[in-house]
Amino acid sequence: MSKLNILMVMADQLAPHFTGAYGHRLVKTPAMDALAERGVRFDAAYCNFPLCAPSRFSLMSGRLPSAIGAWDNAAEFPAAIPTLAHYLDLAGYRTVLAGKMHFIGPDQHHGFAERLNTEIYPSDFAWTPDWDNPGARIHKWYHNMDSLSEAGQALATYQMDYDEEVGFAAVRKLYDFARDGDHRPFFLVVGFIHPHDPYAARPEWWDLYDHDAIDLPEPVDLDSLDPHSLRIRRGIQADSVGYTEEQCRNARHGYYANTSYIDGWLGRMVRVLEETGELDNTVVIATSDHGDMLGERGLWFKMSFFERSLRVPLIMAGPGVADAAVANACSLVDLAPTLLDIAADGGNRVEPVAPLAGRSLWESATGGRDPVDEAVAEYTAEMTSHPMFMIRRGRYKYIHCDADPALLYDLGADPCERANLADDPVHAEVAAGFAAEVAERWDSNAIRDQVLASQRTRRLLHAAAGNASRVSWDYSPAQDAANQYVRDHMDWAEAGARSRFPEPS
């Protein structure tokens, strides 16, 4: 039995709540819808850190961020940590990365044999937070209300440039898999930047939506917000610069349009799989690194453990995958053992050298029952000065930070997380149980010491790099122009036939 190909398509900052595949009444996601109709949709999938780089490091390694030092968007991802790409390479796969994975450090491959594009964001220590000055406003590199005031239509942006390059490279690589004579299975990860803010969309995607029909967030009593939400509002200038209702509508309109844009690329890649005869031999996975609050609870972007920030879409379709929806909580660290199970079909199982934090979802994806209903997450980046932890089990979500009051929500009765039950006498036993579990799982003081030491070191190194000849870690894709297309050492007729799919009869 031949091994299945794996195509993983990752959006950036896409909350499942804002997709048609998960029931939004306006957002058009026909490719995700079609994937869900013939596959499995996980209805309570979470990231393990509501920020880009740490979330992706967790996904790639199958380990929690605190276990690998993934503290923030400028924490190095060490080359010595095995990733999915390493494991699948050993299982006989061709491993290729197209687009964003937000790798920080000099290793910009982490097991991928091929990388088709550079990163969109810096790969050095530039974006290191400063817990020594936790109240200081981040200016140069952080979100603010410009993302709302500038939301609207655009013909070109750096994000559009990037995703067009990524989508083109991924589509061409899918054709290459079919025409280059290498019959090994492939593991192709495609990372787009949209619908990440700023919320600017091309007219053809913007015009899919009636502007006046764009839904707005539910009103929220700002005086009732928890301390971390207030810190986020202050950090992104929502409480000082603020935003208007029309800016909010523009931002959500742009986000919906760009969600449809990314869905279009997903649909195109699925069509190429069908054209090349690989659709029935490929597991297709659609997901994201975290969500976006989009104004809900008075918040924007991510960085919190609330549902629209922490939840991600997770849809899987392919041979043997059931047509189902799975209600159990799961998270991105579960993808590593899941993909190892997929790769083990046909033999040559590769065992991880370090214990993985997650569980395989392959049993539930193929119609079985998952006895586990749990996800955990961490946060050690900007807008806080102490580590934050989250446990989602069954209907309950518990949030802990040494500097803040505990939060406990019953998501079954209160999906919008309005009522904090941490001090409710009726839920005292539940809250105490979660508190004890947090203390057992995490040493908050030790983690804080590690974060502070890492931040201080990285800030020093970044400052020193600015005083010398800078050596860039940003990946620069190699272009072998001397052997592209048709060159004078090639037979014109042979080159044409070799690059054509299907081959001429």
Is residue 387 in a domain? no
* pLDDT of the residue at 483: 86
Instruction: Round the average pLDDT of the chain to a whole number and report it.
Output: 95
Q: Which of 265, 283, 61, 98 is nearest to 185 (CA)?
A: 283
Is residue 34 exposed (0-12), middle (13-18) or buried (19+ Cβ within 10 Å)? middle
Is residue 178 in a domain? yes
Quick one: which H or E segment has residue 42? strand 40-46
**For the chain, what is the domain count?**
1
DSSP assignment letter at 3:
P
Calpha distance 117→100 (Å, rounded)? 8
Quick one: which H or E segment has residue 438? helix 428-441
The pLDDT tens digits of the residues spanning 56-81 come to 999 999 999 999 999 999 999 999 99
Instruction: Tell me, letter by letter, the H, E, C secondary structure of 360-376.
Output: CCHHHHCCCCCCCCEEE
446 vs 347, higher pLDDT: 446
Q: What are the Cα distances from residue 365, in Å, to 16, 129, 166, 199, 328?
A: 18, 38, 28, 33, 12
- As a whole number, mean pLDDT of residues 30-45 equals 98
CATH of residue 181: 3.40.720.10
Strand bridging mode 282-288 / 5-12? parallel
Calpha distance 255→27 (Å, rounded)? 9
218: which 2 tokens? Answer: 């539910």
- As a whole number, mean pLDDT of residues 265-289 equals 98
Calpha distance 164→446 (Å, rounded)? 43
Would residue 52 show up in a list of annotated catalytic residues for this protein?
A: yes
DSSP β-bridge partners for residue 369: none
Burial 267-305 (b: 16+ CB within 10 A, else e): bebbebbeebebbeebbbbbbbbbbbbbbbbbbbbbbbb
DSSP 126-189: TT---TTSTTSPP-TTS--THHHHT-EE-S--HHHHHHHHHHHHHHHHHHHHHHSS--S-EEEE
Active-site position among 17, 86, 102, 253: 102
DSSP assignment letter at 288:
E
Residue 364 contacts residue 40 (beta carbons within 8 Å): yes
Calpha distance 60→103 (Å, rounded)? 10
Calpha distance 19→29 (Å, rounded)? 6
Would residue 102 show up in a list of annotated catalytic residues for this protein?
A: yes
Is residue 411 in a domain? no
Residue 434 contacts residue 396 (beta carbons within 8 Å): yes
Count of residues making up the chain? 505
Q: Which of 385, 464, 375 is nearest to 64 (CA)?
A: 375
How far is C-alpha 59 from the geometric centre of its chain's CA atoms?
8
Residue 300 contacts residue 411 (beta carbons within 8 Å): no
Is residue 32 in a domain? yes
* pLDDT-derived band at 286, boundaries 50, 70, 90: very high
Active-site position among 52, 248, 330, 401: 52
The pLDDT tens digits of the residues spanning 154-201 come to 999 999 999 999 999 999 999 999 999 899 999 999 999 999 999 999
* pLDDT of the residue at 466: 74
* pLDDT of the residue at 79: 98
Number of Cβ atoms within 10 Å of the Cβ of 49: 33
170 vs 1, higher pLDDT: 170
Say whether the peptide bond before residue 195 is cis (omega within 30 degrees of 0): yes
Rg, the chain, Cα only: 23
* pLDDT-derived band at 504, boundaries 50, 70, 90: confident
* pLDDT of the residue at 346: 66
Domain holding 175, by residue range, is 5-377
Strand bridging mode 200-201 / 186-195? unpaired
Is residue 464 in a domain? no
Is residue 442 in a domain? no
Is residue 403 in a domain? no
The pLDDT tens digits of the residues spanning 399-418 come to 999 999 999 999 999 999 99
3-state secondary structure of 327: strand
The pLDDT tens digits of the residues spanning 338-380 come to 999 999 976 778 999 999 999 999 999 999 999 999 999 999 9
